[in-house]
Amino acid sequence: MADDKQNELLSIIADDSVSAVDLADFFNRLPLERAVAAARTLSGTRVQSRLWELVANNPPLVTSDLVPIDHPAMQAVVFHGKNSLPLFTEFEKICCRPSSQPDSSLNELWGYNRSPTMKVVGPGYYVTHDTPDSELGACAFDYNRLPLRAAEGWPDIKPNDRGVSRFVYNRMIDYMRRVADDVFIGLATKDEKSMSSWFVLVREL
């Protein structure tokens, strides 16, 4: 991505007068590849926590905003990610709508994390669902729940409370907010306490 666009995004986020509308306009003008490149310039907790706060008053994000209800079941949707950690900051969240819902009122996604560390820490499977009672966000990636099955080509489902996975994903819930049409930001929590760790996602739908 050109340096001028990188600098423009960082300037927008740093501007005390910036609004959530300004951020949405910036990302909504960009094609997918440039949006991903822009999001992946947002390094560290200072910038990502600022972005999290800037969009706090956006309309609540629900699960069907991430992957529409009419998206074909078990067909993957990729979210290109950048986290605020010091190392291994680029990753992808892979989601799908379940092949069937035990309760037709449920609004869920199944998914896992694809990253360079996946062979060591595991795929980090989760169920995404609405969290209307949370002040942090109206939907979340919940690592305390596992999908009933994996989509074709996905890694084997492994529990998050065993092996190295328990140090990364066990007891974790990521709450989500919207930044732009296809851009989102999440906050990682454990036992309902902030881990001061954020991540930006750009959807490829």
Residues 43-54: tens digit of each pLDDT: 999 999 999 999
pLDDT tens figures, 15-43: 999 999 999 999 999 999 999 999 999 99
How far apart CA 50 and CA 198 sit, in angstroms, is 10
Residue 178 gets which letter from DSSP?
A: E
- What is the model's pTM? 0.93
Is residue 49 within 8 A of residue 194, CB to CB? The reply is no
Exposed (0-12), middle (13-18) or buried (19+): which is 158, by Cβ within 10 Å? middle
Instruction: For residue 189, give the H/E element and its range.
Output: strand 183-190
- The whole-number pLDDT of residue 7 equals 74
